[in-house]
């Protein structure tokens, strides 16, 4: 399994007018990956998981619950606690 950590500013279009698709580039060189971050402008959280086979899917499954907890963190009504999130 290939582990790849890439940090990209996917919104930097000042150097080139051509369309850049970093997720497509990752799919070409990695068997599996996950990307988490914030959308530019709205600052909404997002997560994208990709696995090309069952082994990669199983390896990335470890991160499902922590990513779900992160995506729900801060979205709770005022007065609620984080105790309801099961890890």
Residue 54 lies in a domain: yes
Total number of domains constituting the chain: 1
Residue 74 lies in a domain: no
Residue 25 lies in a domain: no
pTM for this prediction: 0.58
Residue 51 lies in a domain: yes
Residue 53 lies in a domain: yes
Residue 40 lies in a domain: yes
Which residues form the domain of 42? Answer: 34-64
List the beta bridge partners of residue 51.
32
Single out the residue of 59, 57, 36 nearest to residue 48, CA to CA. 36
pLDDT tens for the chain, 87 residues: list them.
444 455 555 555 555 667 888 888 888 999 999 999 999 999 999 999 999 999 999 999 999 999 999 999 877 654 454 444 443
């Amino acid at each position: 399994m290939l582990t790849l950590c890439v940090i990209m500013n996917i919104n930097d279009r000042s150097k080139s007018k051509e369309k850049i698709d970093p997720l497509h580039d990752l799919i070409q060189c990695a068997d599996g990956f996950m990307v988490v971050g914030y959308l530019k402008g709205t600052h909404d959280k997002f997560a994208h998981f990709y696995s090309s086979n069952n082994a990669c899917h199983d390896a990335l499954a470890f991160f499902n619950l922590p990513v779900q907890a992160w995506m729900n963190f801060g979205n709770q009504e005022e007065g609620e606690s984080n105790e309801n999130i099961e890890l």
